[in-house]
Structure 1
Amino acid sequence: LSMLIKVNRLEGRALWDSGSTSMLMFPAFASIAKAITFQLVQPITLQLGTIESRSKINHRTNCFLEMSGCKSQEYFDVVNLDQYDLLIGTPFMHKHRVILDFGQKCIIING
C-alpha cells in the first residue's frame, strides 16, 4: 500500500512496507524537501530481500511528517529507492498503531 505523506510540508509518495525495519528516503526527495542530512561515521549495510542484494547507508536525516491527522518527527536513512520517495517500515507502524487494510486498500493510523 502507498499514500502521499508530507515531509517538511512537501508531499512525497510513500510505500508502507510491513517487511522492513527501516525508514528510508530517496536522496533527491531529501534535497527538494530541504531535509538536513548528516553523514554516518560508520556506514550501515542495508540488506534487501534477495540473495546477495545489499547496499550501504551513508546518510541519515530527521524530518517532520504529516499524514492523516498524524504529525511526527522521524529519522530516515537516505538511500536510493525505486518509484517511491519514502519507505515506511514497522517501527513507525508499531509506534503509531498503523493498520494496513489490504481488503479495503487503506492505511489506518492510530487505529
Structure 2
Amino acid sequence: MSNATNVSAKPKRRRASAKSADDYVENLERSSMSVKDPNRKVPRPIIVDVKINGCVTRALVDSGSTTDFISTRLVDQLKLQKNLLEKALPVQMTVQGSTSKVFYNCRVPFQYQEIDGKRTFDVANIGSQSYDVILGTPFMYQHQVVIGLNPTRTYIGSVAPLPMIGDDVAELLSAAAETVEKNLEHIRQQMLALISDLSRPESEIDLPPFRAINHRIPIIDKNKKYPYRPSKCPEALRPLWNEKRNSYL
C-alpha cells in the first residue's frame, strides 16, 4: 500500500444556487450483501487493518456505505465513550424494507497508513465477524481514497481530512429539517421585514376608509310566482315503479 499523488486539475465549482432534491438524501445507506453458493467464486472485499484507540482491528472499505460505522461489539470491548444523537438516524439496507437506526456515535483516535487523528463513527450492530469498522464514502471522500481489485489496492490521496463540500456532497433531509427548525424564527423575521410595506397599519395606508354597506341586491323576488306541476309516472312504467318502491318497504 502506498500514497497516491493527485495531479488532476482543480474542478470547476458551480455558481451558488438554491438546493434541489438531488442535494439531499433521505437516510444513511449500507449496501453490503453476500451469497452462499458452493459453486460460485467471488472476489474478497477490501478489508484493511486499522487502529482504533491504539488497538488493531479490521475495517471494510465500502463505497456503498454513506457513513462510517463502528460495531457495538468493538465499542463495548474498548469501552469507548458513546454520544447520544439528538435524533435517531435511519439506515437503509440493500434489501427493500430492511432498515435499522443509529442512536449513538463516538469520536475516537483513528490510524491507517499515514492517517493519524480523531474520527467520528456511527455506532451500529454490524453482523459480520470479519470486520468491526466500515469506512464509507465520508472517509473515502475526505482522504481522496482510490481503491481497486485484482490486485487489491488502497491509495490515500490526502493524509489530512478534507472538508466535505462540493457538487458530489449531499445533505441528510433530517439534518436539513433540524437546521430549518432552529432558524425558523430568524426566517420568520426576515419574511416579515420583506413584506413590511404590505402589512402597514390602516392609518398609514393611502386607501379610502371603510364604509357601511348601504345597498342591497335582491336575488330572490318574493312577489314572483313559479308554476308547479306534480310529477307523474307513465302508466306503462308503473309496474316497474311499484316493484322498485316495494323493494324499499
The alpha-carbon deviation at position 67 of structure 1 amounts to: 1.0
Match for residue 78 of structure 2 among 16, 29, 33? 33
1:110 corresponds to 2:157: yes
One-letter amino acid of the counterpart of residue 95, structure 1: Q
Structure 1 vs Structure 2 CA RMSD: 1.3
1:44 corresponds to 2:89: yes
- 56-65 vs 35-44, which moves further: 35-44
Distance 1:59 1:10 in 2: 21
Determine if contact 1:40/1:58 at 8 Å carries over to the other structure: yes
1:99 corresponds to 2:146: yes
Q: Percent identity?
A: 28
* Cα shift readout 1:39-76 (whole Å, capped 9, x = no counterpart): 11211101111100110101110011111111132111
Larger radius of gyration: 2
Partner of residue 100, structure 2? 55
Q: How many pairs does the alignment contain?
A: 111
Higher strand share: 1
Distance 2:155 2:117 in 1: 15
Match for residue 22 of structure 1 among 50, 61, 67? 67
One-letter amino acid of the counterpart of residue 103, structure 2: N
Match for residue 132 of structure 2 among 57, 68, 85? 85
Distance 2:133 2:47 in 1: 10
Higher helix share: 2
**Length-normalised TM-score, structure 2:** 0.43
The alpha-carbon deviation at position 32 of structure 1 amounts to: 2.1
Distance 1:7 1:104 in 2: 26
* Cα shift readout 1:88-109 (whole Å, capped 9, x = no counterpart): 0011111111111212202112
Distance 1:48 1:64 in 2: 27
Distance 1:10 1:103 in 2: 29
Distance 1:100 1:72 in 2: 21
One-letter amino acid of the counterpart of residue 41, structure 1: E
**Length-normalised TM-score, structure 1:** 0.92
More relative contact order, 1 or 2 (CA 8 Å, 6+ apart) = 1
